[in-house]
Amino acid sequence: MSIISIDDIHKNRFLINQHITVFGWIRNRRDSKCGISFLDLYDGSSIKTVQVIVNQSIFNYNTEVLRLTIGCSVCIDGRLVLSIGKKQKYEIQASKLMVIGWVDFPEKYPVAAKNHTYEYLREIPHLRSRTNFIGVITRIRNTMFHAMHHFLYKKKYYWIPTPIITSLDSEGAGAMFKVSTLDISNPPRQKDGLVDFKQDFFGKESFLTVSGQLTLESYACSMGKVYSFGPTFRAENSNTTRHLSEFWMLEVEQAFFDLNEISELSEQIIKYIINFVLKHCSNEMNFLQNKIDANIFQRLEKFLSSEIVHINYSDAIQILQDSDYNFKNPISMGMDLFSEHEKYLVDHYFFNAVFVKNFPKHLKAFYMKLNNDGHTVSSMDLLIPGIGEILGGSQREENKSILKNRLLELNLNKKDYSWYIDLRRYGSVPHSGFGLGFERLISYITGIYNVKDLIPFPRTINHALC
Cα–Cα–Cα angle for 322, 441, 127, rounded to 5 degrees = 130
Task: Judge whether 90 and 8 are in contact, CB under 8 Å.
Answer: no
Task: Judge whether 147 and 271 are in contact, CB under 8 Å.
Answer: no
**Distance from C-alpha of 403 to C-alpha of 63, rounded to nearest angstrom:** 75
Q: Indicate if the pLDDT at residue 169 is higher than 80.
A: no
**Distance from C-alpha of 59 to C-alpha of 254, rounded to nearest angstrom:** 65
**Distance from C-alpha of 69 to C-alpha of 56, rounded to nearest angstrom:** 17
* Pairing outcome for strands 354-357 and 206-208: unpaired
Share of the chain above pLDDT 90, in %: 89
Task: Judge whether 136 and 287 are in contact, CB under 8 Å.
Answer: yes
**Distance from C-alpha of 229 to C-alpha of 334, rounded to nearest angstrom:** 32
**Distance from C-alpha of 298 to C-alpha of 308, rounded to nearest angstrom:** 17
Q: Indicate if the pLDDT at residue 86 is higher than 90.
A: no
pLDDT by residue (tens digit) across 101-144?
A: 999 999 999 998 888 999 999 999 999 999 999 999 999 999 99
Look at phi and psi of residue 210 and say left if phi exceeds 0, alpha if psi is from -120 to 50, else beta: alpha
Burial of residue 189, with CB atoms counted within 10 A of its CB: 0-12 exposed, 13-18 middle, 19 or more buried: exposed
Supply the angle between the helices 296-305 and 259-280 in degrees, to the nearest 10. Answer: 150
Q: Collapsing DSSP states into helix, strand and coil, what is residue 5?
A: coil
Q: Indicate if the pLDDT at residue 1 is higher than 80.
A: no
Element (H, E) at 341: helix 339-344
pLDDT confidence of residue 209: 94
**Distance from C-alpha of 155 to C-alpha of 436, rounded to nearest angstrom:** 17
Q: What is the pTM of this model?
A: 0.95
Average pLDDT of the chain to the nearest whole number: 94
pLDDT confidence of residue 173: 46
**Distance from C-alpha of 424 to C-alpha of 406, rounded to nearest angstrom:** 14
Number of CB atoms found within 10 A of residue 426's CB: 8
Q: Indicate if the pLDDT at residue 13 is higher than 80.
A: no
pLDDT confidence of residue 243: 85
Element (H, E) at 225: strand 225-233
Radius of gyration over every alpha carbon of the chain, rounded to an integer in angstroms: 27
Element (H, E) at 79: strand 73-82
Q: CA of 3: how far to CAs of 43, 77, 90, 304, in Å?
A: 12, 10, 17, 39
Residues in the chain: 466
pLDDT by residue (tens digit) across 218-234?
A: 999 999 999 999 999 99
Find the mean pLDDT for residues 57-72: 97
pLDDT by residue (tens digit) across 253-304?
A: 999 999 999 999 999 999 999 999 999 999 999 999 999 999 999 999 999 9
Extended strands (E) in 83-123: 90-101
Q: Residue 53: which of 65, 36, 69 has the closest Cα? A: 36
* Confidence grade of residue 238 (pLDDT, cut at 50, 70, 90): confident
